[in-house]
Structures are given as structure tokens and as C-alpha cells.
């Protein structure tokens, strides 16, 4: 009886941690990873490395846009994609903004420079 009284609180804490803590963290990391993978087809164009846009870029940009209203928001998406652009070393503002016309997507969440402040987004 005494052993079960000690074991019950431990099992309860472990259960609550598994149910409440892990999914939130995993979802956030997964969404950013998905966004970076999808947007990776646009990076060389937006960074000014490639002159031509990869046809997969528009598919990726649409996928990124679809992640925003369902999960992490424009500000967090901006920070996520900014990390990838900082790794590329450059951002061409004109090319970033041109994705709206070329791909038919909103570019509000896309950093237009390496110093872009994502905190101003919703």
C-alpha cells in the first residue's frame, strides 16, 4: 500500500509531462523545419546566387504560407526563415518581394534583409 502511494504521484507527473509538454515543442520544431525545407528551393534566388528561380520555389513558398495560419504565425515564421537566409549570407529585397508576383503568395513574413526585424509582424 505504501509503495503504491509513492508510485502514484510519480506516474502522474510522468504522464502529464508526456501529454502536455512534448507535443508543443515537437510541433514548433517540426513546423520550422518543414518551412526551411520547403523554402530551401527559394534561398539561392532570394540570396542573389541564382539568376533564375527554381520551379520548386513557388511550391515551397505556398507550402510555407499554408503553415502560417494553422500554427506558428508570421513573426515566428519570419525568424525561422531568417535563420536560413543568414546562413546563405545575403538577401535581395527585390527578389524577396518578387516572389509575391512570381509565385502568387504573400511575402509579409519574408525577411527583406539580414537585419530585418521580424518582431513587427503579428
Whether 24 maps to a domain, the answer reads no
- Count Cβ atoms below 10 Å from residue 12 Cβ, excluding itself: 10
CATH number of the domain bearing residue 47: 1.10.110.10
Residues in the chain: 122
Q: Which of 66, 33, 72, 64 is nearest to 46 (CA)?
A: 64
Whether 43 maps to a domain, the answer reads yes
- What percent of the chain shows pLDDT beyond 90? 55
Whether 73 maps to a domain, the answer reads yes
Helices (H), the chain: 2-20, 22-46, 55-67, 73-88, 93-103
Reported as a single tens digit per residue, the pLDDT across 76-108 is 899 999 999 999 999 999 999 999 899 999 888
Whether 17 maps to a domain, the answer reads no
> Alpha-carbon distance 53 to 95, whole Å?
9
Q: Which of 19, 35, 31 is nearest to 85 (CA)?
A: 35
- What percent of the chain shows pLDDT beyond 70? 72
Amino acid at each position: 500500500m505504501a509503495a503504491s502511494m509513492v508510485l502514484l504521484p510519480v506516474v502522474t507527473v510522468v504522464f502529464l509531462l508526456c501529454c502536455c509538454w512534448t507535443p508543443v515543442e515537437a510541433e514548433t520544431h517540426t513546423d520550422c523545419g518543414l518551412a526551411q525545407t520547403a523554402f530551401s528551393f527559394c534561398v539561392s534566388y532570394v540570396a542573389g546566387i541564382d539568376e533564375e528561380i527554381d520551379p520548386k520555389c513557388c511550391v515551397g513558398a505556398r507550402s510555407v504560407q499554408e503553415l502560417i495560419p494553422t500554427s506558428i504565425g508570421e513573426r515566428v515564421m519570419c525568424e525561422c526563415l531568417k535563420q536560413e537566409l543568414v546562413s546563405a549570407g545575403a538577401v535581395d529585397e527585390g527578389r524577396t518581394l518578387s516572389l509575391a508576383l512570381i509565385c502568387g503568395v504573400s511575402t509579409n513574413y519574408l525577411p527583406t534583409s539580414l537585419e530585418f526585424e521580424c518582431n513587427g509582424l503579428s
